[in-house]
């Protein structure tokens, strides 16, 4: 029984609830789809994988050997860990310029057709090289792996070893250049710092030379000079006081040498003028003032009082000399018996003159001494300010000197580090395992790919069978008809095929299988070519 219908309300066999027997029946009916999909994808995969070239892989392991001399003796001036160093060296070694030399020398990726550009060839070479960090280690220790893949089995190992040597040489060259550049930079910085240090030292010395009396080292000199000057002033002041006392004594002796009183006969004033009555009083006050000055200073109250009395007496004498009436009154009031005028004594007068000259000389000496005392006192007062300024300059000098010493140490370390790199005693790359010629290809894994093609073809066939079953509107069993019409089926007539029909169906099936296999083989032949062209 085999019929079709057009009702949209018919359920398909793939709806939920369908039992396993129904699925097996669907699989039997759609077996051709499953076989064709599986056959086609499997044949295409087998042909394609057979057309893929063998890829051989060689690898070498490089160990990062630490510096031979301990860091406490020669510090390493190149910072960074192995990962950072490896990244830098890898970028330099795998640069297009370096790889171009490798491609040309080894004849990699020959292209007789000339369809690949130089850039494409270099890009393919970069993709064939894998650099992998194996063990980062602690600090700068560790190891890494270099892999090279190619179609030529005989050249992958030499190229891998050459790449390893390129990494070693590049690392050594980079470290030598870096240490040399570091030493050169530090040398230039050292020269600049030395010039700055010399300028600062010259400035400091010039300031010290111009202000030698203001230096802190001059403080004892100023103190000693002040002590000496004050001692000299005290000595001179004592000498002046002694001279004043001696002058008072001499003046007293000169005042005591007078004659006995005499009688005024003709009425003429013995004193020699209208101020005669004040002369004795003035001499007495002057003697008293001299004696007071010998004991006290000019600001003493007794000295000032006596000086005022002398000034007033001199004023009266001047008024008497200017007013004749007053002068006559003074003359009349003078007693009849007057002491004789002061007798001249050349010896005492000469001694008084000598003492006055000595006191004037000593007084003149006080002025320069006071100026020197003021000079040294000013220097001592200004010394803290200058000492602070000088301290700032000295601090700047010490800072620059410390920087210069630090640069000297760093420059020396850089030179020693450069010498270590030149003699290969610093951190270096050492080949731990050399690359060897591979015994078998590393890719492609044809068995795995073919199994994947077989499984993929089977799944694709099942999907196609399911799609065909869903889209098929045929009624094949009485159960399906009963569900459609809602009436029981009285009888079913089996499908009867003749021998010629079976033969014809077999021939068509064989042709479909052969055509599918041939088409899949052709597709599998074309796919590698297309993939190689575009990828």
C-alpha–C-alpha distance, residues 112 and 122, integer Å: 16
Final residue before a domain boundary, out of 433, 452, 481:
433
Q: Do 387 and 511 fall into the same domain?
A: no
| 91 and 151 co-located in one domain | yes
CA terminus-to-terminus distance, the chain? 54
CATH code of the domain covering residue 158? 3.30.1890
DSSP alpha helix (H) spans, 299-345: 301-322, 324-333
Q: Are residues 47 and 115 in the same domain?
A: no
Phi/psi of residue 13, nearest 5 degrees: -65, -15
Question: Is residue 294 included in any domain, yes or no?
Answer: yes
Per-residue pLDDT, averaged over 372-383, amounts to 81
Q: Do both 84 and 230 map to the same domain?
A: no
Query: Is the domain of 273 the same as that of 374?
Result: yes
CA 287, 292, 293, 298: dihedral to nearest 10 degrees? -120
The pairing of strands 129-135 and 3-4 is unpaired
CA 73 – CA 467 distance, rounded (Å): 79
pLDDT of residue 299: 67
Same domain, 241 and 361: yes
Tell me which residue of 289, 275, 280, 282 sits closest to 342, measured CA to CA: 280
Question: Where would I find the H helices in 129-218?
Answer: 156-210
Judge if 248 and 320 occupy the same domain. Answer: yes
> Which range among 58-72, 149-163, 265-279, 432-446 shows the weakest confidence by mean pLDDT?
265-279
Share of the chain above pLDDT 70, in %: 75
Least confident of 67-81, 116-130, 331-345, 362-376: 331-345
Is 72 within the bounds of a domain?
Answer: yes
Give yes or no: residues 515 and 529 share one domain.
yes
Domain count of the chain? Answer: 3
Query: Is 206 within a domain?
Result: no
240 with 340, same domain: the answer is yes
Report the pLDDT value the prediction gives residue 67, as an integer from 0 to 100: 58
The per-type count for the chain, helices as H runs and strands as E runs, is: 14, 8
Over residues 397-409, the pLDDT tens digits come to 889 888 888 888 8
What would the pLDDT profile of 443-479 be if each residue is shown by its tens digit?
888 899 889 989 998 999 888 888 887 887 777 777 7
Most confident of 197-201, 250-254, 273-277, 454-458: 454-458
Q: Is 452 a member of any domain? A: yes
Residue 286 has what pLDDT? Answer: 77
Comparison of pLDDT for 198 and 256, the residue scoring more: 198
301 contacts: CB under 8 Å, gap ≥ 6: none
Position 185 in a domain:
no
Q: How confident is the model at residue 418 (pLDDT cuts 50, 70, 90)?
A: low
Tens-digit pLDDT profile for residues 88-142: 888 888 888 888 888 877 776 555 555 567 787 788 888 888 988 886 655 555 7
Q: Mark whether 239 and 380 lie in a shared domain.
A: yes
Predicted local distance difference test score (pLDDT) of residue 209: 74
294-329 residue pLDDT tens? 666 666 677 778 888 887 887 787 777 666 555 454
Which domain, by its residues, includes 76? 57-179+423-433
- Write down the pLDDT at residue 455: 93
Evaluate whether residue 406 is within a structural domain: no
Same domain, 428 and 471: no
> Do both 30 and 75 map to the same domain?
no
In a domain, 408, yes or no: no
DSSP, res 247: H
The strand pairing partners of 142, in sequence order, are 64
Q: Is residue 418 part of a domain?
A: no
């Amino acid at each position: 029984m085999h019929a079709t219908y057009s009702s949209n309300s018919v359920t398909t066999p793939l709806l939920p609830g369908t039992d396993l027997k129904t699925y097996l029946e669907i699989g039997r009916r759609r077996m051709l789809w499953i076989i064709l999909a599986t056959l086609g994808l499997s044949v295409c995969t087998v042909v394609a994988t057979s057309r893929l070239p063998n890829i051989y892989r060689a690898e070498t392991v490089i160990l990062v050997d630490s510096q031979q001399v301990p860091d406490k003796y020669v510090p390493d001036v190149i910072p960074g860990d192995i990962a950072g160093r490896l990244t830098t060296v890898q970028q330099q070694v795998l640069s297009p310029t370096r790889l171009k030399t490798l491609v040309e020398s080894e004849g990699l990726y020959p292209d007789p057709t000339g369809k690949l550009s130089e850039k494409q060839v270099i890009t393919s070479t970069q993709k064939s090289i894998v650099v992998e960090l194996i063990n980062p280690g602690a600090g700068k220790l560790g190891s890494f792996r270099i892999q090279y893949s190619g179609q030529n089995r005989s050249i992958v190992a030499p190229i891998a070893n050459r790449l390893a040597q390129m990494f070693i040489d590049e690392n050594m060259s980079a470290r030598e250049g870096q240490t040399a550049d570091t030493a050169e930079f530090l040398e230039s910085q050292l020269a600049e710092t030395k010039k700055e240090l010399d300028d600062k030292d010259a400035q400091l010395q010039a300031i010290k030379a111009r202000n030698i009396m203001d230096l802190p080292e001059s403080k004892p000199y100023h103190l000693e000079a002040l002590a000496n000057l004050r001692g000299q002033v005290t000595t001179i002041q004592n000498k002046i006081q002694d001279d004043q006392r001696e002058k008072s004594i001499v003046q007293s002796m000169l005042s005591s040498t007078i004659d006995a009183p005499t009688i005024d006969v003709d009425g003429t004033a013995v004193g020699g003028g209208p101020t005669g009555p004040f002369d004795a009083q003035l001499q007495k006050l002057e003697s008293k003032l001299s004696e007071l000055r010998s004991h006290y200073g000019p600001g003493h109250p007794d000295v000032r009082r006596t000086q005022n009395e002398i000034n007033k007496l001199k004023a009266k004498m001047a008024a008497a000399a200017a007013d004749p009436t007053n002068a006559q009154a003074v003359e009349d009031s003078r007693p009849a018996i007057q002491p004789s005028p002061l007798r001249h004594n050349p010896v005492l007068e000469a001694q008084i003159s000598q003492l006055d000259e000595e006191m004037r000389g000593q007084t003149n000496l006080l002025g320069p001494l006071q100026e020197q005392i003021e000079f040294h006192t000013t220097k001592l007062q200004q010394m803290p300010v200058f000492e602070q300024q000088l301290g700032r300059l000295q601090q700047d000098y010490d800072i620059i000197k410390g920087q210069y010493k630090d640069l000297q140490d760093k420059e020396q370390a850089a030179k020693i580090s450069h010498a270590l790199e030149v003699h290969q005693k610093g951190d270096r790359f050492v080949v731990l395992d050399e690359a060897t010629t591979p015994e078998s290809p590393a890719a492609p894994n044809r068995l795995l790919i073919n199994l994947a093609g077989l499984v993929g073809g089977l799944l694709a066939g099942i999907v196609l069978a399911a799609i065909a079953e869903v889209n098929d509107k045929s009624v094949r069993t009485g159960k399906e008809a009963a569900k459609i019409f809602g009436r029981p089926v009285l009888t079913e007539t089996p499908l009867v095929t003749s021998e010629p029909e079976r033969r014809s169906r077999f021939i068509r099936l064989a042709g479909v299988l052969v055509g599918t296999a041939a088409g899949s083989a052709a597709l599998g032949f074309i796919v590698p070519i297309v993939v190689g062209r575009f990828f």
